[in-house]
Amino acid sequence: MSLPRRIHRFLGWCLILPFFVWAFTGLVFFIKPGYQAAFSYLTVKTYPISNAVQLIPQPEWQEIKLLQTVLGPHLMVKQSDRWQQLNLTDFTVRPQPSADDLLRLIKDAMSVDSKRYGEQLLKTEQGFVTDTGVQIQLDWASLSLSQQGKDTELINNLYKAHYLQWTGQKTIDQVLGVIGLVLLMLTTVVGVWLLIRRR
């Protein structure tokens, strides 16, 4: 066996695992099974504003949001490119309410999809978790929610595997990615050269 063929075979053996991972994850990304639920948006449930509100916008306000939830009215303003929730009376920063109120707010939002979020909600050090294992994070300043279930984590791990982020160490993963691409290009170049030489 000639040296180029040996090199081509060696490179092929080196790329068996990455090729399998790329093919499998690429198929998942193409079909996208379970993506809709895994990456669905969870938003606070809003209601018609019950009372008239008079606002005098301040010069430093860039945007204003006014909405009502089960906890009552909420005023969010954007200042210096970041959101803050303010009291309607004196425009001071509105502190985060009690854990019971936060649970009530999030459970109200969960009610739109009881199949995914279940019925029960617990507060943890990292945020909130439902009885179906979905982790929920609340940004009180902007009153926005984010959710991540086991399916979300699985798909994110598939993305990491696809891009050769196998160790969790950024530098090592970058080296692995570069090595994978170099091996792939070498395999292609040697294969084309063997094909041309045979002809």
Per-residue confidence band for 136, with pLDDT thresholds at 50, 70 and 90: very high
Per-residue confidence band for 54, with pLDDT thresholds at 50, 70 and 90: confident
Per-residue confidence band for 128, with pLDDT thresholds at 50, 70 and 90: very high
Query: How many residues belong to the chain?
Result: 199
pLDDT value at residue 1: 62
The answer, yes or no, to whether residue 191 has pLDDT greater than 90, is: no
Dist CA 144 CA 78 (whole Å): 14
At 75-98, the pLDDT tens digits run 999 988 899 999 988 889 999 999
- With contact defined as beta carbons under 8 Å apart, do 147 and 42 qualify? yes
User: Is residue 141 classed exposed, middle or buried when 0-12, 13-18 and 19+ CB atoms within 10 A define those classes?
Assistant: middle
pLDDT value at residue 63: 93
